[in-house]
């Protein structure tokens, strides 16, 4: 498949609108890469209008690099946009495939190709999100959510714990509209540790790109989540530890709240269960995670 990128493939000094018109005649699908900085740019609106007129709305997709759906207004709001999430990108790839000439890939081949290339594509999309941020705010994620994973002894225990943690993840991501990294998002069972590329280094890279750190620690467990908490402290991340009992934490961690303002420890006197914690994540969003 050949791809035309207007910022790179239109030669300096050439007649921009003429070149764009030629390319449109030879293309079958259009993607508008939108950021907060270019959202209102005249050339973006011009390209959107040209694409919409040539292809129709169904074959033009605004790709929201550092934006959310509600950010689109005016003419751009008429298009069916996609955010940088796996499910959204999968739908976009499927839509592009449907218009491939001379023939699209079968559903099975497309699914296999997407699964193979998604890890590489995800890293590039995350980098694009980081590059789009204004100077002084170079965070890919608002929150790094750290939870026990391999520390659970059985798959049933892991699935049960993950289901509870996911309530907090969903509250942060969907109701608070925050960008959240959670390694367990893709790991639904212990068996998935063997089938997915679970990389501690990827987690640490994501932690470096995160503004705040949240630890969910339901009981005393030997888990890499404790290492991540120490790493977050070294990175000077604002951190929230949600525990049942403060004494479940290693001694040095339980004393942190008294020596640094970067760490706040929430015990069972602050939250009842994960449903209650999810509600409080939403209620105290501005206080805990900033406006």
Apex 88 CA angle, 85 and 90, nearest 5: 105
Q: How confident is the model over 139-146, as a mean pLDDT?
A: 92
Tell me, what's the pLDDT at 240? 95
Q: Sheet holding 60-64: strands in order across? A: 30-34, 60-64, 82-83
Pick the more confident residue, 23 or 113.
113
Tell me, what's the pLDDT at 145? 96
**How much of the chain is in helix, strand and coil states, percent to nearest 5?**
55, 15, 35
The contacts of residue 214 (CB under 8 Å, 6+ apart) are 143, 144, 145, 146, 168, 172, 239, 240, 242
Using 50, 70 and 90 to split pLDDT, how confident is the model at 289? Answer: confident
Using 50, 70 and 90 to split pLDDT, how confident is the model at 136? Answer: low
The contacts of residue 134 (CB under 8 Å, 6+ apart) are 36, 37
Query: E strand or H helix at 136, and its extent?
Result: none
Phi, psi of 33 (to 5 degrees): -85, 110
Pick the more confident residue, 214 or 13.
214
**Tens of pLDDT, residues 206-252:** 898 899 999 999 888 888 889 999 999 998 889 999 999 999 998 88
Classified as helix, coil or strand, 26 is: helix
Other beta carbons within 10 Å of 54:
17
Please give the share of the chain, as a percent, with pLDDT higher than 70. 86
For the cut 80, the answer to whether the pLDDT of residue 88 exceeds it is yes
Beta bridge partners of 212: 143, 238
Positive or negative, the CA dihedral 237, 216, 146, 179 is negative
Please, what is the average pLDDT of the chain? 83
DSSP 79-132: S--EESSHHHHHHHHHHHHHT-SS-PPPHHHHHHHHHHHHHHHHHHHHHHHHHH
The number of CA neighbours under 13 Å toward the Cβ of 142 is 16
Please give the share of the chain, as a percent, with pLDDT higher than 90. 34
Tell me, what's the pLDDT at 104? 86
Pick the more confident residue, 173 or 127.
173
Pairing of strands 180-181, 141-146: parallel
For the cut 90, the answer to whether the pLDDT of residue 71 exceeds it is no
Pick the more confident residue, 96 or 74.
96
CATH class of 141-289: alpha beta
Other beta carbons within 10 Å of 27:
16
Q: How confident is the model over 124-146, as a mean pLDDT?
A: 81
For the cut 50, the answer to whether the pLDDT of residue 9 exceeds it is no
Burial class from Cβ neighbours inside 10 Å (0-12, 13-18, 19+) for residue 290 reads exposed
Q: Where are the alpha helices (DSSP H) in the chain?
A: 6-9, 16-26, 42-55, 86-98, 107-132, 155-170, 192-195, 200-208, 224-234, 251-254, 274-283, 285-289
Q: Where are the domains of the chain?
A: 6-132, 141-289
Tell me, what's the pLDDT at 267? 92
The contacts of residue 2 (CB under 8 Å, 6+ apart) are none
> Structure pTM?
0.59
Between CA 61 and CA 54 the distance in angstroms is 13
């Amino acid at each position: 498949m050949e791809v035309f990128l207007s910022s790179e493939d239109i030669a300096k000094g050439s007649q921009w609108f003429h070149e764009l018109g030629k390319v449109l005649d030879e293309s079958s699908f259009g993607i508008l890469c939108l950021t907060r900085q270019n959202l209102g740019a005249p050339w973006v609106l011009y390209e959107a209008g040209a694409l919409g007129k040539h292809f129709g709305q169904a074959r033009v997709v605004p790709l929201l690099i550092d934006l959310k759906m509600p950010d689109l207004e005016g003419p751009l709001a008429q298009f069916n946009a996609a955010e940088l999430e796996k499910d959204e990108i999968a739908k976009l790839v499927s839509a592009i495939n449907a218009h491939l000439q001379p023939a699209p890939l079968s559903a099975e081949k497309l699914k296999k190709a997407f699964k193979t290339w998604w890890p590489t594509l995800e890293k590039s999309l995350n980098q694009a999100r980081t590059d789009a941020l204004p100077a002084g705010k170079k965070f890919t994620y608002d929150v790094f959510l750290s939870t026990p994973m391999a520390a659970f002894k059985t798959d049933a225990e892991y699935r049960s714990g993950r289901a509870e943690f996911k309530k907090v993840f969903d509250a942060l991501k969907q109701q608070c509209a925050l960008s959240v990294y959670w390694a367990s998002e893709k790991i639904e069972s212990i068996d998935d540790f063997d089938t997915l590329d679970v990389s501690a280094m990827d987690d640490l890279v994501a932690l470096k790109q995160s503004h705040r750190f949240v630890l969910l620690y339901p009981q005393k467990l030997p888990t890499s989540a404790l290492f991540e908490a120490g790493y977050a402290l070294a990175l000077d991340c604002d951190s929230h530890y949600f525990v049942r009992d403060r004494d479940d934490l290693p001694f040095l961690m339980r004393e942190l709240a008294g020596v640094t303002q970067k760490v706040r420890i929430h015990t069972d006197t602050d939250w009842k269960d994960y449903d209650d914690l999810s509600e409080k994540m939403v209620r105290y969003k501005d206080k805990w995670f900033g406006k």
